[in-house]
Amino acid sequence: MCSYIVEKAALTGSAKGRGWMKIDTAHVYYDHPFHAPLDHALGIDFINAANGGRERVAIEISAESARELVRAILSALKSGEQEHAAAAAAQVTTQEAACPAEASVG
């Protein structure tokens, strides 16, 4: 049975297929795949809806792979945001140490 249930997510970013393209929407669905050798797959179509959605980059992955991908995305975001926040804080501390008079003004 095909469900034809599609979740949509607004995005800001780029994807590479034949070349790089702007993407603004992901269509996410769990159904029978077109190509993957699976009974059911999570599919994600990345498109630029503002440009008519004519081009897309698509993936079809198993449910287990989708869950692992979600885990990896959340982990990368958490560690990346922590590292960037620490680097930004260290840069502010370094600038304050280099110019203590400017840091105390304001």
| Domain count of the fold of the chain | 2
- Tens digits of residue pLDDT in 49-59: 999 999 999 99
Q: Give yes or no: residues 2 and 19 share one domain.
A: yes
Q: Give yes or no: residues 19 and 53 share one domain.
A: yes
How far lies 99's CA from each of 22, 71, 90, 96, in Å?
41, 42, 14, 5
Which of the residues in the chain have pLDDT under 70?
1, 94-106
Q: Give yes or no: residues 11 and 44 share one domain.
A: yes
Write out the two tokens for 30.
């769990």
Residue 97: the pLDDT is 65
Domain of residue 94, residue span: 63-98
Contact in structure between 25 and 10 (CB atoms under 8 Å): yes
Q: Round to whole Å and give the CA distance between 62 and 60.
A: 7
Q: Give yes or no: residues 69 and 93 share one domain.
A: yes
Write out the two tokens for 97.
């140490």
Indicate the pTM of the whole model: 0.78
R_g of the chain, CA atoms, integer Å: 21
Q: Give yes or no: residues 74 and 52 share one domain.
A: no
